[in-house]
Structures are given as structure tokens and as C-alpha cells.
Amino acid sequence: MTRKSSRRRFIGQSAALGAVGYWAGTSPNLFAQDSALQGLSAACIGVGGKGSSDTSHIAEQGVAIAGLCDVDGGTLTKKGREFADAKRFTDFREMLDQLGDKVDIVTVSTPDHTHAAAAMRAMQMKKHVYCQKPLTWSIREARMMRETASEMGVVTQMGNQGTSEDGLREAVEVIRSGAIGDVSEVHVWSNRPVWPQGKGRPEGEDPIPENLNWDAWIGPAPMRPFKKGAYHSFNWRGWVDFGTGALGDMACHTTNMPVMALKLWDPVAVTAVKNPGIVEGEMFPASSALVFEFPEREGLPACNFHWYDGGELPADDLVAKLPESFQKRIAQQKEGGRKTSGALIVGSKGSVFSGNDYGAQYSLLPEDQYKDFKLPEQSLPRIPFKGTNDERQKWEFVSSVKGEYKPGTMSNFGYAGRLTETILVGNLAMRAGEGQRIEWDAKTLTSSNVPSVNEFVQREYREGWEIPKVATVS
């Protein structure tokens, strides 16, 4: 069997991985010869910061790095020293055009606004894709990503590394078992943003650095002048043209465990209860508090999900439910100390609390009530590879591509796309007035009562950076 026919056969058998709406243990029927697929190679888009470790961790799983792409020439040169045989590019379109028939995997570790443009192109070339969180910049892009992954039958994974943690999977099992009863409230707060937010666009412009491909960095977004320190390389998250704010940055991590456990898909409404608004149409506010409403779903009761960022916190009566040590940390925060992050899932019998951004550790509360608690029977697989959560997630992805790990990727685009859709609906509330309840129809991706927000469900792409239309799978 040739390498090409083996890979095509494997892809067809693995289509179910991308098709599920949430992870439910679906795996392809793999044959022994497919499990022996050898010689995987990758093209990596964005190789600085998180992209640097993404590239290295993929390589550590035996994948040859054939191409490196970064808009920053200095970053590209630095990573190129680690992978001397890899071809270098500053535009992912050029890299995929040149290396498309030579690679099996594409990693996407760029700012949010270019995720879909890169990943969609790669998937339509039938490449397996690892993409950083949030999966996309816009709600419609998240829908397109999961539909395309399913149609193309490729293995996918979003970089919310907590999904690989045994503790998160155990917490999901505990909540699903009914240990804390019916859940009607979820509260998640974040210490983000740790970058500038709440300002307008800086005046003037600076010369574009000689080693920076500014056109490629802007990508699908409207062109704007370069301003030193304002956007590239770190401060882009707060700008609505490029990032998704504190909610988009951290909620794929901090809400992952309760969303998975409670199937928090497709909210019917969202309200920004504290909403200073988008500043000059340019930047997310410095802090916000949101409420998402979920109806009854698959036998689960209606539930409200509360989000807080920029130092906002749950009410005092909820803080009083937390472990005493964490209550002290919140007291210090209120006095001007370091901001905290946490997730509290409130049930009719008890609560689950995690003070870990990844949901990797959790407590059952009140502690005295659960001191003799016995864990439910395991229903989710555990990754056998030992390493950091990031390394474990890369092992899960590459081993799934090889066909050697039959449970498949847990944060595949079928799951991650729905998680991202749920989260990004919250950013629509930032476009409305404080206290304005936005009714949401997930089927049509529209709001009926506040139609002014519908234009922000997707974007107009700059010429040359459009997302290619989905082709028919042969």
C-alpha cells in the first residue's frame, strides 16, 4: 500500500472524530496497517511564544518539521536554528501552496483573527490540524471549522491543554454522576486581562520593522498603520479586530470542565450585567460581567453561567462557599492584591470548585459532607503518556493521527467548535448596552431582539485573505 493511499484510507475512517457535537468516545475503526502509518511531517504557522512550544512538542512526538512560518523574521530565524531543515516562510498561504503535498499536519498558533483563515485552508487540503484556543475569532468561523473538520474527515485538536488533565476528566465524571445534584448555576472568574484593554486606537504610526511582514500579520482584518507596542507581538488580544478579549483568551480553559460536564451548548440569551462597552469600537473593556442562559437540555435542568473578568467577582454568599484558604485570597484581592481565577459549579446537593485555570484540580464542597465520597466509575479515557498537560495533549493528537490512540482527540473541532461558539456569544453582549438581554438563536447564529449585533457574528475578510469555500470531498 502506498503512503498516499494509506493516509487517505485513514482519513476516511477517522471522520467520526470531527463529526461529534461533543466528545463522547467516538473513534474510527482503524486497521493494523493504518496504525503503522509512518513518516509524519508538519508545517507550523506561528512559531514564537506558544507557537514555539507547539512546534517543539509536535516534533517530540516523532513528527518531522518541514515548514516554519512566522511574520516576525527574528522569531523565524530563532526557531529555524532548532529545525535547520525546515523551509521558512512569512506568509502561511505561500507555505501551504509550496508544502501542501509534503505535510500531514498543520499547527496554527497565531493571533485569533488568523486561526480560521489558516486552519480552514489546511483542512481543505486534508491536513490534520492542531489550532490554539480560542478556536476562532468569530462565531460563524467556529461553526465553519467544526463542519469542515467533519466533512474532510481529518483529526483535529484545539489547544486547551486542560482537556488532557486526569483531574478535569475526573471532575466531569463526578458532576455527571449526580454527586452534587442538579446544577442551576455556574460561576467562572478570571484574572485576565493582563494586557491593555479599555482604550482607543493610538494616534499616528511608526515605521514597520524591516523583519516584520505587517501585511501578513494583519491578515483577514482591515488594514491599519503599524504602531510600536500596540499590537504585535503580545498586546493584540484586547483589540476587537484581532483578539477576543479576556473571555476569548481564558474561557476555553476555565469553562472547559463545566461546559463538558453539563453540555453547556447553544445559550438562548446572554446579558452583560457590567458592560462599559467596546471603547471607540476598537477595544474590549477593562472588566466585564456576563450571564449566559441555557435551557433544559438532554435531561439536564436550565442553568445560568456567570462570567467575570478584570477583577470582577461572584457575590459574597457564593465566595463563602469556597475553601477558607481561597476565601483569604479573594479578601486580599479586594484589598488590592493579586487577582484570582476560579470556577464554582453549584448543585442542589453540593458544589464543585476549581481554583486551577485548567480545571486540573477540584474540590467537592462542603468538604465535611464529601469526606467519605467514592469516585464514580470511570467513563472517560485517561491519556497514558506522562508529561505536562501540553505535552500530553500533543501526544493525544499525534497518536490519533497515527491511528494508535483509538479514543481520539477529546478537544477535536466537533467539541471545541461548540465550546468556542458558546463563549464568543458573550462578546456580542459587549456590543449592546449594559443590562441588555440578547436573545440568541444558535441554529441561525442570529439575535432576533437585538439585530444590531448580528453583523459581528462574522467579518468581511480583506481581499486575498478570504476563507476558502468548502470543497466537496472526493
pLDDT above 70 (res 446): yes
Tell me the domain boundaries of the chain: 3-164+384-412
pLDDT at 378: 98
Q: Is the pLDDT of residue 25 over 80?
A: no
Query: What CA dihedral angle connects 230, 194, 80 and 130, to 10 degrees?
Result: -110
- Spell out the residues 6+ positions from residue 85 whose beta carbon is closer than 8 angstroms to its own: 65, 66
Query: Which residue has better confidence, 69 or 7?
Result: 69
* Residue 278 scores a pLDDT above 80: yes
Average pLDDT estimate for 405-420:
98
Is the pLDDT assigned to residue 21 strictly greater than 70?
A: no
Among 8, 46, 9, 437, which Cα is nearest to 236's? 46
* Residue 458 pLDDT grade (very low, low, confident, very high; cuts 50, 70, 90): very high
Residue 359's Cβ-count burial label (10 Å; 0-12, 13-18, 19+) is: buried
Q: Residue range 34-63: average pLDDT? A: 88
How big is the CA angle at 281 (ends 206 and 120), to the nearest 5 degrees? Answer: 80
Confidence of residue 301 (pLDDT cuts 50, 70, 90): very high
What pLDDT sits at residue 38?
60
* Cβ count near 98 (within 10 Å): 14
- Spatial CA neighbour of 116 closest among 449, 421, 435: 421
> Do residues 185 and 306 touch, judged by C-beta distance below 8 A?
yes
Give the per-residue pLDDT at 95.
Answer: 98
Q: Tell which residue, 434, 413, 457, has the closest CA to residue 151.
A: 413
User: Would you state the pLDDT for residue 470?
Assistant: 56
Q: What is the pLDDT of residue 468?
A: 78
CATH class, domain 3-164+384-412, is alpha beta
CA 167 vs. chain centroid, Å, equals 19
- For 133-151, how does the pLDDT look when each residue is reduced to its tens digit (9 = 90+)? 999 999 999 999 999 999 9
How far from each other are the two terminal CA atoms of the chain, in whole angstroms? 19
Per DSSP bridges, beta strands 437-439 and 156-159 are: unpaired
Q: Strand, coil or helix: what is 68?
A: strand
Contacts of 355 (CB under 8 A, 6+ apart): 326, 340, 341, 342, 361
* Residue 394 confidence (pLDDT) above 90: yes
Among 30-34, 111-115, 199-203, which stretch is predicted with the lowest mean pLDDT? Answer: 30-34
Q: Are 83 and 59 in contact (CB under 8 A)?
A: yes
pTM for the full model?
0.92
Whether the per-residue pLDDT at 1 is higher than 90: the answer is no
* CB distance 45 to 110 below 8 Å: yes
Say whether pLDDT at 332 is over 90. yes
Identify the pLDDT of residue 23.
52
> 433 pLDDT band (50/70/90 cuts)?
confident
At 326 the pLDDT is: 98
- pLDDT tens-digit map of 100-123: 999 999 999 999 999 999 999 999
Segment holding 270, helix H or strand E = strand 269-274
Round the average pLDDT of the chain to a whole number and report it.
Answer: 92
Handedness of CA 82, 85, 90, 94 (dihedral sign): negative
> Cα separations (Å) of 223 from 62, 114, 461?
39, 14, 11
- The pLDDT of 441-460, averaged and rounded, is 97
Mean pLDDT of 91-106: 97
Of 280, 273, 281, nearest to 308 by C-alpha is: 273
User: What is the C-alpha separation between 208 and 55, in angstroms, rounded?
Assistant: 27
Measured CA to CA, the distance from residue 235 to residue 243 in angstroms comes to 9
